[in-house]
A and B are shown apart, each in its own frame.
Chain A
Amino acid sequence: MKARVTVTLKTGVLDPQGKAIEGALGSLGVPGVESVRQGKLFDVELATDDRAEAEATLKSMCEKLLANTVIESYRYDIAG
């Protein structure tokens, strides 16, 4: 079973990298960019076909390692 985990900074947490990208887009002349926030994306393959089991595993890996919930939130999407 394949899944995609997205980790993003919580609202209100300073994202200097996002700000730098935002500035670079501005200097490239890309119009209409109001803000950029940078995050992380993980494509995960799980050795199960059971959706509930996959969700439990994904939640566990996010809480234990993939996200630091002091500043980050996460979501996961199971393919299919």
Chain B
Amino acid sequence: MNAAVIVFPGSNRERDVAAALRAGTGSAPAMVWHADTDLPAGTDLVVLPGGFSYGDYLRCGAIAARAPIMDAVRAHAARGGLVLGICNGFQILVESGLLPGILTRNKNLRFICKTQHLKVERVDTRFTSGYQPGQVIEVACAHGEGNYFADPETIERLEGDGRVAFRYCDAAGNVGGLANANGSINDIAGVYSEKLNVLGMMPHPENLIDGAVGGTDGLVLFAGLAKAA
């Protein structure tokens, strides 16, 4: 399993993702600077970490999405390579056109920072193969702009093609309502690309990789990726 974590100016979760990859896959990822134009040879998985790339200037992820390395990331995705974008990484994926829709300001205008339950929508993808069908997992939210939006045709297509990866729910698995704090359409917390090789998600699985610090529900995702690659 060869993973590469892209580091943009203003990324701040790249070390947490690297720790999660080490714990889940047994090997350390390459750290790749945004101004590079090539991924390391043999890269299986590219991770775009959370943070505030370019200070969230213009729109979250907008400038990072046009960084030199992103052409290589797009080519990797087009070849069927795995790409995971978390939080700001998800915002970069939608801005770069690798995933549809956009993430806008949280409905309540507040920065949301708390643990969050998610319903795993399907377990037959390379990202979620370690989970049980319908499993409710606990991860962490930390974002100001996580309100997923897309036009009705796009939402219909995503739903029809089973491209919703996770939905916000409560501990009992009830989707939506107060559990959807940012106002995302259809309680969407993560979406897949058409070929299911690109996943963007707002919450942070890399926060939940150690039983001593909240739980290991996030570790399952990284461990599953190691088996899939």
Q: A residues near B, CB below 8 A?
A: 13-14, 16-17, 20, 64-66, 68, 70-71
Give A9 Cβ to nearest chain B Cβ, in Å: 9
Verify B149–A71 contact, CB threshold 8 A: yes
* Alpha-carbon distance A71/B183, docked complex (angstroms): 16
A17 & B58 in contact (Cβ 8 Å cutoff): no
Question: Known contacts being A65-B58, A70-B150, is A16 close to B102, with CB within 8 Å?
Answer: no
Contact status B183-A14, CB under 8 Å: yes
Q: A71-B102, A71-B104 in contact; A17/B150 too (CB < 8 A)?
A: no
Q: Which of B1-9, B25-33, B105-113 contacts A (4 or more CB under 8 A)?
A: B105-113
Q: At the interface, yes or no: B227 with Cβ under 8 Å from chain A?
A: no
CA distance A70 to B94 in the complex (A): 10
With most chain B CB atoms within 10 A of its CB, the pick from A14, A20, A66 is: A14
Are A14 and B62 neighbours in the complex by a CB distance under 8 Å? no
Q: How far is the CB of B193 from chain A (nearest CB, A)?
A: 16
Q: How far is the CA of A40 from the CA of B107 in the complex (A)?
A: 19
**Are the CB atoms of A16 and B106 closer together than 8 Å?**
yes
Report 18 cross-chain contacts, Cβ distance below 8 Å, ordered by A residue: A14-B104, A14-B107, A14-B147, A14-B183, A16-B107, A16-B108, A20-B109, A65-B62, A66-B58, A68-B95, A68-B102, A70-B100, A70-B101, A70-B102, A70-B151, A71-B102, A71-B104, A71-B149
B15 in contact (CB, < 8 A): no
Q: A65-B62, A66-B58, A70-B102 are in contact. Are A13 and B149 (CB under 8 A)?
A: yes
CA distance A20 to B109 in the complex (A): 8
A6 CB to closest chain B CB (Å) equals 14
Instruction: Contact check, B66 vs A17: say whether CB atoms are below 8 A apart.
Output: no
> Which residues of B are found within 8 Å of A14, using beta-carbon distances?
104, 107, 147, 149, 183
B76 adjacent to chain A (CB < 8 Å): no
A16 to B107, CA, bound (A): 6
Please give, as numbers and ranges, the residues of chain B lying within 8 Å of A66 by CB-CB distance: 58
Q: Which residues of A contact B150 (CB under 8 A)?
A: 70
A16 in complex: contacting residue of B59, B63, B109, CB < 8 Å: B109
